[in-house]
């Protein structure tokens, strides 16, 4: 019984995203056909085997996406829609870059404290939304959108005040992190031949993913959090202090969001500047949905998005199609996957109810038939 | 997950609208064309545009004009790709590398965002020649990199003076695309030029977005909204240093019956035909000349690495007179021009 | 098919009449003169399968014109599936439906309405801010327009059937009984000749039930046919001309009310013995376990206080029952005890500690068990497995925890605990890993009872513990509550089922507009007395010396006809079920 339901759950869990990807391919092909673009060339580019350096780029981009999606998923588990991951990670990246750039602490200590600074700043920024929600009942959707905008202006302002000017450069950057505090990349020598390195802070993503799973599923706190997400009314009746829970999970989500930019900061850019990657928080929302808030599912979803990004980069060059097509594909995947999940979820509930009813009926019928005859 | 459906709808809408934001830049139809009639192995040039890409009627189009000129005059083969707002550093690197992989071994990177990528990819591909526009930092420097920079503040000074000479309300405006140090140079020159003419002039300044959001260079709607506000506030001439967003400023000028100043290209020629008549002058930044010169130097085997500065003296920046709206003040502007070239006037950069 | 026509044993009938507290039906003749002998609805061999489950199997049903035909059965027996088939919501896999002599296929409710079938749902579908007229014509504008023609038609129908509906009254101003009559009128307005009523009495107080039955008799005397779905057997016996019993998806008996008792019917329904809620000898002690002292709860929206000056003491071993029409402060009373609502004044003392400013979790940790009114919203995580639901509400109980500082969930222990609850409390489930949402209502409730009782609470707050639960589970739940009471548990029992309240409670209080009446003695009080106190219509003097606890002013609701006779509650506990086994 248990295993049958379990296997079925896994199959159904996998069926939905696969179906969604197929739907996305079909829909995108139709769009391409209508636009008169070369359908074959587009898919050839998108699904060609990536080169070794591109594989590394996919893993690296996936690492960052993963952290972002976990930050979003923490909120989702509580039925909180933290749109503000985007602003939170930018505030946190700036704070950490500013701190680490000073080189007050030597080597790894500088890295570790900078990570804590990032988590604290992300948590602080998300905490504002949490506080507004529990004290004033402001929807976190609204407040985090506003906080994203405020973060942009605040960081741009502070960056202009703290930027270090390089002669001949038009870029605005914080002071670079000292050599000794840069996190070396991990070489994939022996697996694939490329000088590119995987971000050393991929370890961070693994740790965060594990903690996410462990805290949610194994701890009392995680139980309370999931209970609140599943049914706030039942959680209240069970003694969960929902306000405190909302605030705490916003803090946690923000702390995780604070880590999003860290692999970039310590593994690639070494500064926070005006050409830093943006929009990671929004990608995280889509990836968390695609990965069903499951730490493993999110890993696959993050890699899929990173794969599409990397493969899409060459679209303009090899197929003469704008690489924004990738955004369309990603959008369609998310839409169809959410629809597919809902359909599968409802079907699953019905199926289980029927299975249970049928099994009970079977248990009960046998003696009854005998009694009635 | 019940609520997730609703959330997903928002998320998906957000994702799609992100996609839609970018859709203003259609891939160039001419990308990848091989010019007819060139015998032998044509020089292959790959061009990586900044956000907005070909068709922004401004900065990127200026670079494209240089490329197009090289194509017709030098018979080079071209391939183009453009940047996405907020993209990862690795995406820029990968774009350059893919152009090289496709055989385009002379690379033009448009915009300072490519500085680090050009530096790294140039190092990894020493046989490839690079040009980068708007950067002269050590990040992008290398023995195979031509760093093309401009004295935007000097050209901006002249159009600032023009605005001050032409304003009837003693009130002008400046709209910057993204508040970066580069665009602040435009602002600094413009303000200095205007104040040189009329020390008491009122100058409104607005930037459309803050980094890392670079959509301010490609958002016609944002440009339009900002310009409408300024015109209503009393400004009668606005300098649009905002790339593709300038189109919105021109639309607003047309609707308000006011004037605007274009940027980078001679926008009285490149802007949408119905709004060209509101463009009093443009601050021309001759990216096309820089790009063409780079390609020609490679073709002629006279390539020289290092920083080339395009200033007023070198004819790298200038103001345009298309439309004849500033013919009456041309002599005054040329006076300022001469003073800048001679060094009598030092234009601030920030 | 084994259709049993029950021949009641006369000896047993008399005995049961004495035992069964609610057998008022015996005192009133049942009207049968409306029956004309022509079958108006004939169902033959109706079978409806859902994957894995047969909801209806070989249903046979004949309803005569001008009768009230009751359909009784446990929850989940298949009554609602059958009615959905008859109303065109679902299509049968097999079988025929003959309406007024014509064999029909009903694909949608519109088909059913066209065939003259109307349905009154348990949950009213009325817009509060509309008038009666507007509600009635909504969706049927084509019939008689929306103006005077419709108004005339409504008055006409109202007069013809004695419904007493005023077309221009605002629905928001009307009571539950009047709303139900509007629903009936809506159906008649659309031309229904066969009216299906789904559990119509569930929301009514006894006096309103009598009125409804008066209306039903009116309807059938005019030649209409009423199909009446219920599991309240006394009521069925009181109003029905014929009764069909459904058990496990099929019709097992068709009986006439004259020949049977409520107990006979119940046995047909469950196929076995019937329990009844009855306390044994008193176990009430003089040791208070929970005292609520002059507690007032303000309306968060600024209106009238939702609870005013509540004084209530529950002793160890005592069950205090709270009767009342829903919405008079019961939910708030529970919430203030459970720490989910802050009292404006007064205190709540558990043992001898004031808990008024405690948080829900602390209160639960201190030993108050809680059975919420709406189990799906307040007591269960429907998408979580049973074992996680057993942790719910007891997240801080060391039994469920492990690890440093008891911060980790001990899934293995919780699963063992769940298995024990499933075994001890007879929760019918194939596994403890299925989601709680896949269990039937009764089994969900048994799981909740087990979860709360296993923690040996000092006080149990139980709101409607057997609502929507089938008869078998109901008996089990009563037994568990009684057993815990013997062990010194104090229980606050809130119920809409007067039978349950009278049967279980040591003391009954009535709640009306946020105020508690004095004590009623369940051994002597009549349903009518309770009903009057619940509506505030009659100046009932409870036995205690708090004469003004019930507001005597409100005769606002429809007037009450005091019933001529009411049975007195039994004095002795009933014989144990084994002694009353079937012949």
Residue B131 has pLDDT above 70, yes or no: yes
Which domains does chain B carry?
Answer: 40-150+288-310 (3.40.50.2300), 152-284+320-342 (3.40.50.2300)
Considering the domain architecture, whether residues C167 and C216 belong to the same structural domain is answered as yes
- Poorest-confidence range of A118-132, A177-191, B16-30, B127-141? B16-30
Chain B CA closest to residue A62: B88
More confident residue, C575 or C386: C386
Query: Angle B82-B86-B91 (CA atoms, 0-180°, nearest 5)?
Result: 55
Q: CB–CB of A352 and C51 under 8 A? A: no
Q: Which CATH number covers residue A235?
A: 1.10.3470
Average pLDDT over residues A189-193: 80
Domain assignment of residue A7, yes or no: no
Question: How far are the Cα atoms of A72, A153, B292, C252, C472 from residue C262, in angstroms, in the given order?
Answer: 58, 75, 101, 16, 15
Q: Sorting pLDDT into bands at 50, 70 and 90, what band is C569?
A: very low
Considering the domain architecture, whether residues C185 and C312 belong to the same structural domain is answered as no
| Range 418-447 of C in CB contact (< 8 A) with A | 428-431, 433-435, 437-440
Residue C577 has pLDDT above 80, yes or no: no
Which pLDDT does position B205 carry in this prediction? 94
Burial class (CB in 10 A: 0-12, 13-18, 19+), C143: middle
User: ω before B212 within 30° of 0 (cis)?
Assistant: yes
Q: CB–CB of A220 and C52 under 8 A? A: no
- Is the Cβ–Cβ distance between B84 and B75 less than 8 Å? no
Which pLDDT does position A298 carry in this prediction? 95
More confident residue, B41 or A301: A301
Average pLDDT over residues C506-510: 91
- Angstrom distance (rounded) from CA A35 to CA C324: 68
Which pLDDT does position C54 carry in this prediction? 60
Among C235, C270, C305, the domain boundary falls at C270
Residue from the list B46, B81, B87 with its beta carbon closest to the beta carbon of A277: B87
Domain assignment of residue A369, yes or no: no
Q: CB–CB of C395 and A240 under 8 A? A: yes
Which pLDDT does position C527 carry in this prediction? 74
Among A9, A275, A276, the residue to mutate for chain B (most B Cβ within 10 A): A275
Helix or strand (DSSP H, E) at B22: helix B2-22
- Is the Cβ–Cβ distance between C241 and C219 less than 8 Å? no
Q: CB–CB of C431 and A1 under 8 A? A: yes
Q: Percent of chain A beyond pLDDT 70? A: 94
Residue C152 has pLDDT above 50, yes or no: yes
Considering the domain architecture, whether residues C192 and C299 belong to the same structural domain is answered as no
Residue C568 has pLDDT above 50, yes or no: no
Q: Which residues pair with C255 in a beta bridge?
A: C243
Average pLDDT over residues C100-123: 86
Which pLDDT does position C578 carry in this prediction? 37
Q: Sorting pLDDT into bands at 50, 70 and 90, what band is B32?
A: very low
Which pLDDT does position A142 carry in this prediction? 93
Q: CB–CB of A239 and C391 under 8 A? A: no
- Which of C467, C481, C512 has the alpha carbon at shortest distance from C520? C512
Q: CB–CB of C430 and A368 under 8 A? A: no
Considering the domain architecture, whether residues C124 and C160 belong to the same structural domain is answered as yes
Residue A276 has pLDDT above 90, yes or no: no
Chain B CA closest to residue A82: B7
More confident residue, B270 or B150: B150
- Poorest-confidence range of B210-224, C293-307, C553-567? C553-567
- Angstrom distance (rounded) from CA C287 to CA C313: 10
Chain A CA closest to residue C379: A234
Which pLDDT does position C1 carry in this prediction? 38
Question: C527-535 vs C206-221: helix axis angle to the nearest 10?
Answer: 100
Average pLDDT for chain C = 78
Chain C partners (3+ C-beta pairs within 8 A): A
Considering the domain architecture, whether residues C83 and C109 belong to the same structural domain is answered as yes
Residue C532 has pLDDT above 60, yes or no: yes
Sort out which chain A residues have CB atoms less than 8 A from C377's CB and list them.
231, 233-234
Domain assignment of residue C515, yes or no: yes
Q: CB–CB of A275 and B137 under 8 A? A: no
Chain A partners (3+ C-beta pairs within 8 A): B, C
- Angstrom distance (rounded) from CA A277 to CA B112: 15
The answer, for B95 touching chain A at a CB cutoff of 8 Å, is yes
Q: CB–CB of C380 and A231 under 8 A? A: yes
Buried b (16+ CB within 10 A) or exposed e, C156-178: ebbeebbbebebeeebeebebbb
Average pLDDT for chain A = 87
Domain assignment of residue C9, yes or no: no
- Is the Cβ–Cβ distance between B162 and B319 less than 8 Å? yes
Which pLDDT does position C291 carry in this prediction? 92
- Which 3-state string (H, E, C) describes C400-418? HEECHHHCEECHHHHHHHH
Q: Sorting pLDDT into bands at 50, 70 and 90, what band is C537?
A: low
- Poorest-confidence range of B113-117, B140-144, B212-216? B212-216
- Angstrom distance (rounded) from CA C172 to CA C175: 8
Considering the domain architecture, whether residues C205 and C303 belong to the same structural domain is answered as no
Q: CB–CB of C364 and A238 under 8 A? A: yes
Minimal CA separation from A355 to chain B, in Å:
22
The sign one gets for the Cα dihedral A31, A32, A34, A35 is positive
Number of domains in chain A: 1
The answer, for C582 touching chain A at a CB cutoff of 8 Å, is no
Q: CB–CB of A5 and C393 under 8 A? A: no
Domain assignment of residue A200, yes or no: yes
Bridge-based pairing of strands B259-264 and B237-241 is: parallel
Considering the domain architecture, whether residues C206 and C93 belong to the same structural domain is answered as yes
- Poorest-confidence range of A358-362, C222-226, C460-464? A358-362
Considering the domain architecture, whether residues C226 and C138 belong to the same structural domain is answered as yes
Domain assignment of residue C347, yes or no: yes
Which pLDDT does position C37 carry in this prediction? 61
Which pLDDT does position A87 carry in this prediction? 94
Domain assignment of residue C279, yes or no: no
Residue B49's φ and ψ, nearest 5 degrees, are -80, 165
Average pLDDT over residues C284-302: 86
| Range 178-237 of B in CB contact (< 8 A) with A | 178-182, 209-213
Residue A224 has pLDDT above 60, yes or no: yes
Q: Which CATH number covers residue C351?
A: 3.40.50.300
- Angstrom distance (rounded) from CA B280 to CA B237: 9
Q: What is the DSSP letter of C271?
A: S
More confident residue, C164 or C51: C164
Residue A355 has pLDDT above 80, yes or no: no
| Range 334-353 of A in CB contact (< 8 A) with C | 349, 351-353
- Is the Cβ–Cβ distance between B149 and A167 less than 8 Å? no
Residues 6+ apart with CB under 8 A from C158: C164, C165, C166, C167, C185
Range of the domain at A196: 52-322
Among C2, C51, C53, C341, the residue to mutate for chain A (most A Cβ within 10 A): C53
Residues 6+ apart with CB under 8 A from C120: C180, C183, C184, C186, C187, C195, C196, C197, C198, C200
Domain assignment of residue A41, yes or no: no
Residue C308 has pLDDT above 50, yes or no: yes
Sort out which chain B residues have CB atoms less than 8 A from A53's CB and list them.
94, 97
Domain assignment of residue C12, yes or no: no
Instruction: Give the CA dihedral B143, B148, B154, B157, nearest 10 degrees.
Output: -140
Minimal CA separation from C442 to chain A, in Å:
13
Average pLDDT over residues C475-490: 88
- Poorest-confidence range of B46-55, C283-292, C410-419, C563-572? C563-572
Residue C129 has pLDDT above 90, yes or no: no
Which pLDDT does position B9 carry in this prediction? 52
Strands of the sheet containing C39-50, edge to edge, are C53-64, C39-50, C94-99, C102-104
Residue A245 has pLDDT above 70, yes or no: yes
Q: CB–CB of A171 and B113 under 8 A? A: yes
pLDDT tens, position by position, B268-284: 888 888 888 899 999 99
Residue C470 has pLDDT above 80, yes or no: no
- Is the Cβ–Cβ distance between C442 and C75 less than 8 Å? yes
Considering the domain architecture, whether residues C319 and C243 belong to the same structural domain is answered as no
Q: Following DSSP, what letter does each residue of A163-226 receive, concatenated?
A: -B--TT----BPPPPPGGGSPPPEE-TTTS--S-EE-TTHHHHHHHHHHHHHHHHHBHHHHHHH
Domain assignment of residue C447, yes or no: no
Which pLDDT does position C178 carry in this prediction? 83
Minimal CA separation from C90 to chain A, in Å:
17
Domain assignment of residue C505, yes or no: yes
Minimal CA separation from A148 to chain C, in Å:
34
- The most confident of the ranges B205-219, B229-243, C200-214, C297-311 is B229-243
Q: CB–CB of A372 and C2 under 8 A? A: yes
Residue from the list A310, A331, A342 with its beta carbon closest to the beta carbon of B19: A331
Range of the domain at C482: 288-367+457-580
pLDDT tens, position by position, C37-61: 678 889 888 888 765 456 788 888 8
Q: CB–CB of B137 and A345 under 8 A? A: no
Which pLDDT does position A358 carry in this prediction? 74
Which pLDDT does position A5 carry in this prediction? 56
- Angstrom distance (rounded) from CA A16 to CA A343: 9
Q: CB–CB of A237 and C381 under 8 A? A: no
- Is the Cβ–Cβ distance between B96 and B118 less than 8 Å? yes
Residues 6+ apart with CB under 8 A from A275: A171, B89, B112, B113, B116, B211, B212
Domain assignment of residue C476, yes or no: yes
Strands of the sheet containing C345-350, edge to edge, are C307-315, C288-297, C345-350, C353-354
Residue C571 has pLDDT above 90, yes or no: no
Q: Sorting pLDDT into bands at 50, 70 and 90, what band is A366?
A: low
- Poorest-confidence range of B66-75, C238-247, C563-572? C563-572
Sort out which chain A residues have CB atoms less than 8 A from B27's CB and list them.
316, 320-322
Domain assignment of residue A266, yes or no: yes
Minimal CA separation from C189 to chain A, in Å:
37
Average pLDDT over residues C354-360: 89
Chain A CA closest to residue C436: A353
Which pLDDT does position A369 carry in this prediction? 41
The answer, for B87 touching chain A at a CB cutoff of 8 Å, is yes
- Poorest-confidence range of C159-168, C263-272, C412-421? C263-272
Which pLDDT does position B163 carry in this prediction? 93
Among C240, C270, C300, the domain boundary falls at C270
Considering the domain architecture, whether residues C463 and C516 belong to the same structural domain is answered as yes
Q: CB–CB of A327 and B98 under 8 A? A: no
Q: Percent of chain B beyond pLDDT 70? A: 88
| Range 197-236 of A in CB contact (< 8 A) with C | 218-224, 226-227, 230-231, 233-234, 236
pLDDT tens, position by position, A8-54: 667 766 777 777 788 888 888 998 888 888 888 888 888 888 888 89
- Is the Cβ–Cβ distance between A214 and A225 less than 8 Å? no
Domain assignment of residue A349, yes or no: no
Minimal CA separation from A334 to chain B, in Å:
6
Which pLDDT does position A25 carry in this prediction? 87
Residue B143 has pLDDT above 90, yes or no: yes
| ipTM surpasses 0.90 | no
Sort out which chain A residues have CB atoms less than 8 A from B147's CB and list them.
168
Number of domains in chain C: 2
Among A234, A350, A365, the residue to mutate for chain C (most C Cβ within 10 A): A234
The answer, for A4 touching chain C at a CB cutoff of 8 Å, is no
């Amino acid at each position: 019984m248990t295993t049958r339901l379990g296997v079925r759950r896994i199959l159904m869990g996998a069926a939905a995203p696969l179906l969604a990807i197929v739907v996305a391919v079909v829909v995108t092909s139709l769009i391409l056909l209508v636009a008169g673009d070369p359908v074959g060339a587009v898919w050839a580019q998108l699904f060609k085997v990536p080169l070794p350096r591109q594989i590394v780029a996919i893993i690296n981009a996936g690492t960052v996406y993963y952290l972002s999606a976990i930050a979003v998923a923490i909120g989702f588990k509580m039925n909180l829609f933290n749109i503000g991951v985007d602003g939170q990670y930018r505030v946190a990246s700036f704070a950490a870059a500013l701190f680490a750039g000073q080189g007050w602490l030597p080597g790894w200590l500088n890295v570790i404290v900078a990570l804590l600074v990032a988590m604290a700043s992300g948590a602080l920024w998300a905490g504002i939304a949490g506080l507004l929600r529990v004290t004033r009942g402001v929807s976190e959707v609204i407040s985090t959108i506003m906080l994203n905008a405020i973060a942009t202006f605040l960081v741009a302002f502070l960056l202009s005040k703290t930027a270090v000017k390089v002669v001949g450069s038009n870029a605005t950057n914080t002071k670079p992190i000292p050599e000794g505090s840069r996190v070396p990349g991990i070489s994939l020598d022996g697996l694939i031949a490329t000088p590119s390195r995987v971000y050393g802070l991929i370890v961070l993503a693994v740790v965060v993913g594990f903690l996410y799973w462990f805290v949610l599923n194994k701890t009392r706190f995680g139980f309370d959090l999931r209970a609140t997400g599943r049914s706030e009314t039942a959680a209240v009746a069970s003694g969960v202090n929902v306000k405190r829970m909302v605030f705490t999970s916003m803090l946690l989500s923000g702390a995780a969001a604070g880590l999003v930019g860290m692999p970039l900061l310590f593994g690639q850019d070494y500064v926070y500047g005006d050409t830093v990657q943006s929009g990671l928080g929004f990608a995280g929302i889509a990836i968390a949905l695609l990965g069903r808030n499951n730490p493993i599912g999110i890993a696959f979803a993050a890699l899929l998005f990173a794969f599409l990004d990397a493969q899409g980069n060459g679209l303009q060059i090899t197929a003469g199609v704008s690489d924004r097509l990738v955004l369309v594909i990603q959008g369609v995947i998310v839409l169809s996957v959410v629809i597919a999940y809902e359909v599968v979820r409802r079907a699953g509930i019905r199926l289980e109810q029927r299975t249970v009813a049928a099994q009970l009926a079977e248990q009960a019928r046998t003696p009854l038939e005998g009694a009635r005859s | 997950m019940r609520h997730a459906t609703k959330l997903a709808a928002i998320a998906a809408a957000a994702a799609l609208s992100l996609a839609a934001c970018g859709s203003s830049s259609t891939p160039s139809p001419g990308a990848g064309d091989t010019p007819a009639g060139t015998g032998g192995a044509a020089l292959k040039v790959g061009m990586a545009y900044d956000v907005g890409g070909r068709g922004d009627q401004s900065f990127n189009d200026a670079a494209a004009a240089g490329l197009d000129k090289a194509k017709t005059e030098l018979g080079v083969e071209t391939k183009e790709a453009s940047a996405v707002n907020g993209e990862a550093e690795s995406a820029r690197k990968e774009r350059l590398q893919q152009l090289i992989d496709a055989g385009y071994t002379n690379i033009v990177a448009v915009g300072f965002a490519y500085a680090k990528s050009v530096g790294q990819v140039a190092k990894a591909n020493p046989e490839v020649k690079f040009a980068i526009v708007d950067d002269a930092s050590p990040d992008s420097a290398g023995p195979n990199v031509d760093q093309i920079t401009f004295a935007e503040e000097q050209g901006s000074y002249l159009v600032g003076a023009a605005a001050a000479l032409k304003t009837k309300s003693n009130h002008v405006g400046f709209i910057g695309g993204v508040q970066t140090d580069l665009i602040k140079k435009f602002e600094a020159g413009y303000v200095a030029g205007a104040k040189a003419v009329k020390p008491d002039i009122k100058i409104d300044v607005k930037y459309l977005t803050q980094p890392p959001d670079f959509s301010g260079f490609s958002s016609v709607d944002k440009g339009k909204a900002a310009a409408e506000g300024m015109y209503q506030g009393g400004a009668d001439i606005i300098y649009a240093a905002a790339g593709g967003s300038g189109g919105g400023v021109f639309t607003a000028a047309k609707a308000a019956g006011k004037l605007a100043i274009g940027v980078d290209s001679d926008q009285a020629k490149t802007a949408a035909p119905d709004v060209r008549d509101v463009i009093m002058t443009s601050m021309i930044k001759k990216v096309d000349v820089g790009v063409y010169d780079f390609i020609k130097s490679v073709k002629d085997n006279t390539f020289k690495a290092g920083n080339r500065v395009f200033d007023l003296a070198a004819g790298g920046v200038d103001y345009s007179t298309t439309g004849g709206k500033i013919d009456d003040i041309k002599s005054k502007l040329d006076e300022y021009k001469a003073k800048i070239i001679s060094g009598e006037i030092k234009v601030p950069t920030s | 098919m084994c259709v049993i026509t029950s021949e009641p044993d006369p000896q047993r009938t008399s005995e049961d009449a004495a035992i069964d507290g609610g057998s008022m039906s015996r005192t009133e003749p049942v009207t049968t003169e409306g029956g004309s002998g022509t079958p108006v609805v004939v169902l033959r061999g109706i079978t409806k399968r859902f994957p894995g489950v047969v909801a209806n199997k070989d249903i046979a049903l004949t309803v005569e014109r001008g009768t009230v035909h009751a359909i009784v059965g446990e929850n989940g027996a298949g009554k609602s599936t059958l009615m959905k088939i008859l109303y065109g919501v679902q299509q049968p896999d097999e079988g025929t439906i003959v309406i007024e002599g014509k064999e029909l296929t009903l694909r949608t409710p519109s088909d059913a309405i066209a065939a003259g079938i109307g349905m009154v749902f348990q949950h009213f579908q009325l817009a509060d801010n509309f008038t009666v007229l507007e509600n009635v014509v909504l969706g049927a504008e084509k019939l008689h327009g929306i103006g005077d023609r419709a108004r005339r038609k409504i008055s006409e129908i109202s007069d013809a059937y004695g419904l007493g509906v005023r077309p221009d009254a605002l629905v928001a101003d009307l009571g539950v009984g009047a709303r139900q009559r509007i629903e009936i009128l809506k159906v008649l307005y659309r031309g229904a000749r066969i009216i299906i009523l789904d559990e119509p009495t569930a929301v009514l107080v006894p006096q309103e039930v009598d009125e409804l039955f008066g209306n039903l008799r009116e309807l059938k005397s005019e030649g209409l046919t009423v199909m009446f779905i219920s599991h309240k057997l006394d009521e069925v016996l009181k109003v029905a001309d014929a009764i069909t019993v459904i058990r496990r998806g099929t019709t097992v008996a068709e009986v006439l009310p004259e020949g049977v008792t409520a107990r006979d019917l119940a046995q047909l329904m469950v196929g076995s013995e019937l329990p009844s809620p009855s306390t044994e000898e008193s176990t009430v002690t003089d040791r208070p376990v929970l005292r609520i002292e002059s507690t007032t709860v303000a309306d968060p929206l600024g209106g009238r206080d939702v609870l005013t000056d509540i004084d209530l003491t529950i002793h160890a071993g005592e069950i205090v029952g709270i009767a009342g029409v829903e919405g008079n402060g019961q939910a708030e009373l529970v919430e203030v005890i459970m720490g989910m609502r802050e009292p404006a004044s007064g205190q709540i003392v558990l043992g001898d500690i004031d808990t008024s400013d405690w948080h829900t979790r602390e209160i639960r940790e201190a030993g108050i068990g809680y059975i919420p009114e709406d189990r799906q919203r307040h007591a269960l995580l429907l998408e979580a497995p049973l074992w996680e639901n057993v942790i719910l509400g007891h997240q801080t109980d060391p039994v469920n925890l492990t690890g440093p500082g008891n911060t980790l969930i001990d899934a293995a222990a919780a699963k063992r605990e769940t298995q024990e609850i499933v075994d001890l409390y007879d929760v019918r489930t194939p596994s403890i890993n299925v989601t709680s949402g896949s269990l039937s209502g009764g089994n969900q409730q048994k799981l909740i009872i087990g979860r709360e009782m296993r923690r040996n609470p000092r006080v149990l707050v139980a709101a409607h513990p057997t609502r929507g639960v089938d008869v078998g589970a109901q008996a089990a739940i009563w037994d568990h509550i009684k057993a815990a009471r013997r062990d010194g548990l104090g229980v606050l029992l809130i119920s809409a089922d007067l039978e349950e309240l009278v049967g279980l409670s040591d003391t009954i209080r009535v709640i009306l507009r946020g105020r508690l009446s004095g004590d009623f003695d369940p051994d002597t009080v009549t349903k009518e007395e309770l009903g009057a106190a619940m509506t505030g219509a009659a100046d009932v003097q409870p036995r205690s010396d708090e004469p003004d606890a019930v507001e005597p002013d409100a005769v606002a609701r429809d007037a009450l006809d005091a019933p001529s006779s009411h049975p007195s509650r039994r004095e002795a506990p009933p014989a144990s079920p084994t002694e009353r086994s079937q012949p």
